[in-house]
Amino acid sequence: MDRGGVYYAAADGSGVREVIHPMVTPNGIGLSPDGRTLYVAETEPGRLWAFDITAPGEVAKLPWPSPGGGRLVAGVGGFQRFDSLAVQADGAICVATLMSGCITIVAPDGGDVRTVPMPEPYPTNICFGGPDLRTAYITLSTTGRLVAMDWPVPGAPLNWLNAGATVPAAI
């Protein structure tokens, strides 16, 4: 199996460079609400990693034995695979979880892990939109559906997309 990595692309298109390597099937990626932490989900091992951002396109790396230099936030048991992710305004990370058919919600410190069941085993993506970013849009790959559901916590605004979005003070 070839190893994957995480790359930084300048917003103006002036360059792309490798930031994290090696990783096993990295897929979902997101930023903490304060923009200081990069989260990366690895699909096949079902792991969620965190990296402290030190400058645009640069992360601090932990020494061996951390593969790739990340801080393990969560690893799920059994045969489950992590796919795309989105971050809530409160900092929790929502990961589309294949095989078990759920959205896994992980606290930034990994101390709290919850799940929201989906109606099929292959939810592949989650993102937030709608008024106050309180609608979760989730792709269901087995049936090819896109579902929208009310979400109890608003999503974190995305840089350059909805950074001006207002998120209610009571999160």
Domain boundary assignment for the chain:
4-121
Across the range 96-101, mean pLDDT stands at 97
CATH class of 4-121: mainly beta
Across the range 42-69, mean pLDDT stands at 94
Q: What is the pLDDT of residue 57?
A: 93
- Angle subtended at Cα 49 by Cα 153 and Cα 54, rounded to the nearest 5 degrees: 95
Question: Residue 125's closest CA among 108, 106, 148?
Answer: 148
Task: Judge whether residue 131 has pLDDT over 90.
Answer: no
Indicate the residue type of 97: T
- Interatomic CA distance for residues 157 and 48, integer angstroms: 20
Q: What is the pLDDT of residue 170?
A: 43
Is 103 buried (19+), middle (13-18) or exposed (0-12) by CB count in 10 A? buried
Strands 26-31 and 81-87 turn out to be unpaired
- With cut-offs at 50, 70 and 90, classify the pLDDT of residue 162: low
What residues contact residue 77 under an 8 Å CB cut-off, 6+ apart? Answer: none
Give this prediction's pTM.
0.91
Distance linking the first and last C-alpha atoms of the chain: 42
* Dihedral sign of CA atoms 31, 49, 76, 119 in order: positive
